[in-house]
Amino acid sequence: MKTSSPHCFCTLAIAAAVTLLLAIPARAQSSAPGELTIQTTAADNAAVLAARLRYRHARPANTAAGQELRVQQTAERTSLHNGTSGGRESREILQYFGDVTYGGGQVVKSAVSHAIYLQPQTGSQCTIATCWGDPEEFLRDLDNSDFIHVIDQYVWLHDANRYTVGFHATVNYTPQATPLLDTDIQAIVHAVAAKKGASGYGHIYHVFLPPGQDECFDSTLSECYSPDNPATFYICGYHSSVDFADIGHVIYTFQPYQNVNGCQVQPGTPNGRLVDSADDNLDHELIESITDPDGDAWTNTSSAYYSGAEIADECQYYKDFQNEYLDSSYVPTFQIGAHVYAVQLVYSNEQHACSSAP
């Protein structure tokens, strides 16, 4: 987990034309009636300079650097932990090792997801299908599944169709030799959210990067998604929230290209590694955005090892029936809505286990 304060903003390196597309049926994303084209401007950069980064929570990569980050996180959690033992809280209430506790913060009871795809203007073609599969179809399936109802216990609602899919945006940009920064991602999100007037807890933006594009938290370039640079390849994604002075609170997730060693799922999954790897990370970050958007809602406070972990973190590394870890890229295969996917489970307090259904 990383909880971060705002960093120095570097001038946005993307000459970005952003095309907003109205929601259209799954598997028909290439036809886009009603297109609206906008461009990031100095106003978006200024909005980021004036913004307050509320929270950022990273998913470590299955790499040596990612393992280093997990060790660091565990040490930080242990030092902050006040010493419960045997899974029991001080008030003698039974608390299971993996159970998460409500910290009083905001949860997302319902929201519309909006995908933002960065598509290179030069080099190889990168359509939504060839670079990411069909994340919006996965989101629609998730909204119509038993799986999404695992989180009902954390938002205190049981209604159907609470997490729908809205418009999506396409960002045509020139690939950067240097990594993008989180401030660049914020500027793109601001441009889209401001144009559509869609901010607050009812909207979640998912920013998808094409293959070959690195990204780092800040200008130190020390903690990055960087498959081409193993020394800094710490993360596979994150979810974040930011307060803009002009449009208010915005929730977004970072979705870099997942079909690389360190982020991809195991071979032989039902939709192929490209699709299931992208959906696995989207599953992880969306569900944590819902249950802990600002870092003060549902986290683990019952064990030193998991202290501060969110409900997807605890199920990222799958165990078999003998309770032994399988390959770190392994995720289970199960039905989600109308299709079968290979994605990770999420933790259920009610079942005291990682689960795919309530």
- Residue 3 in domain: no
Q: Is the pLDDT reported for residue 330 higher than 50?
A: yes
Q: Is the pLDDT reported for residue 326 higher than 70?
A: no
- Residue 11 in domain: no
**What's residue 21's pLDDT?**
53
- Residue 33 in domain: yes
- Residue 335 in domain: yes
Residue 318 pLDDT grade (very low, low, confident, very high; cuts 50, 70, 90): low
Q: Is the pLDDT reported for residue 7 higher than 50?
A: no
**Domains: count for the chain:** 1
Mean pLDDT of the chain: 85
Q: Is the pLDDT reported for residue 123 higher than 80?
A: no
- Residue 10 in domain: no
Q: What is the pLDDT of residues 212-266, one digit of tens each?
A: 999 999 999 989 999 999 999 999 999 999 999 999 999 999 999 999 999 999 9
Q: Using H for helix, E for strand and C for coil, what is the string for the chain?
A: CCCCCCCCCCCCCCCCEEEEECCCCCCCCCCCCCCEEEECCHHHHHHHHHCEEEEEEEEECCCHHHHHHHHHHHHHHHHHCCCCECCECCCCCECCCCCCEECCCCCCCCEEEEEEEEEECCCCCCCHHHHHCCHHHHHHHHHCCCHHHHHHHHHCCCCCCCEEEEEEEEEEECCCCCCEEHHHHHHHHHHHHHHHCCCCCCEEEEEECCCCCCEECCCCCCCEECCCCHHHECEEEEEEEEEECCCEEEEEEEECCCCCCCCCCCCCCCCCHHHHHHHHHHHHHHHHHHHCCCCCCEECCCCCCCCCCCCCHHHCCCECCCCCECCCCCCCEEEECCEEEECCCEEECCCCEEECCC
- Residue 265 in domain: yes
Domain housing 256: 17-355
User: What is the average per-residue pLDDT within 68-95?
Assistant: 57
Q: Is the pLDDT reported for residue 298 higher than 80?
A: yes
Q: Is the pLDDT reported for residue 28 higher than 60?
A: no
- Residue 8 in domain: no
- Residue 113 in domain: yes
**What's residue 27's pLDDT?**
36
